Amino acid sequence: MSKKTVLITGCSTGIGKLAAKTFHARGWNVVATMRAPERETELTPKDDMLVERLDVTDPASIQSAVETTLERFGAIDVLVNNAARGGHALLEQSTDAMTRQMYETNVFGTMNVCRAVLPHMRRAKDGCIINVTSMAGWVGLPLETSYCGTKHAVEGMTEALAWELKPLGIRAKTVAPGAYMRTEFNSNANDDDFEAGGPELATYAKQLLEHFRSSVTAEGGDTADPQEVADMIYACATEDRPVHNPVGQDAELILSMMAAPPRQEFLDKAEPLLLPPS
């Protein structure tokens, strides 16, 4: 049987890089893409490893990476949409520019890469698309209004896509990590707006952030191993998994609370995790 090929976006750091290493270690052809491949030092190009430029907001770079992959390996069996932007701010603090950057990357960028790859999967009548979302795609989190909006959008889009693609032999999945503080995602987040709105608003925002981080720490976010997420991505590519796949103790806790109808009961239960006592 010929080796399968995976194309992964956002491989310069964190979960994307771990996913690239995980697939490669298990015998796959890997196309690890990022905005600045010239800076990459860990993922070494080999016969079965390509390191390519792909900016999800640049359609030409998407098309170039897809064409290079097909020329080299002949197929794209799995697409992992991992590239994303994050940031912390109250909605009142958030600039239009920051919000649009998140949507351009997290939502429209994901859609753009899917559109570029799907014709090839459709012709093959096989394939799997895995969109990395977040527990923020399931529950609204304070200070992440824009980010939550993007991840809710990708969760919904992927669920709809799964229905569209099932008759064509193609699978669509989401992997929704909790807060893995040992990745570079939070340190790379855009917090430029966090001080906006004056001292009173900035102080309130800091109180919310400190409380949420203490809740995440209590649920193991500081010590959680992000390799768990890479392993879940690989499982979605190789096993019969549901459309939505939370990973991490905090994400699983949040989703277990949501099992109790009506939804307001879940919101009442979640409040102590998200808001400090009044």
Q: Check pLDDT > 90 for residue 250.
A: no
Angle formed by the axes of helices 14-25 and 227-238, nearest 10°: 50
Query: DSSP labels for 1-60?
Result: -PPPEEEES--SSHHHHHHHHHHHHTT-EEEEEES-GGG--SS--BTTEEEEE--TT-HH
Read off the tokens for 170: 């193609």
**Does residue 197 come out as left (phi exceeding 0), alpha (psi in the -120 to 50 range) or beta?**
left
CB 240 within 8 A of CB 178: no
Question: What pLDDT is stored for residue 198 in this prediction?
Answer: 80
**Rounded CA gap, 134 and 149, in Å?**
11
Report pLDDT digits (tens) over 134-173.
999 988 999 999 999 999 999 999 999 999 999 999 999 9
Which residue in the list 147, 180, 204, 234 is annotated as catalytic?
147
pTM of the model: 0.88
**Rounded CA gap, 131 and 155, in Å?**
8
Report pLDDT digits (tens) over 184-219.
545 455 666 667 778 888 888 889 988 988 876 766
Looking at the domain that runs over 5-274, which CATH code has it been given? 3.40.50.720
Question: What pLDDT is stored for residue 16 in this prediction?
Answer: 97
Question: What pLDDT is stored for residue 278 in this prediction?
Answer: 74
- DSSP for residue 221: T
Instruction: Tell me the pLDDT of the chain averaged across its residues.
Output: 89
- Residue 147 is a catalytic residue: yes
Report pLDDT digits (tens) over 69-115.
999 999 999 999 999 999 889 999 999 999 999 999 999 999 999 99
- The position carrying tokens 């491989």 is 11
- The position carrying tokens 């004056």 is 198
**Rounded CA gap, 88 and 94, in Å?**
9
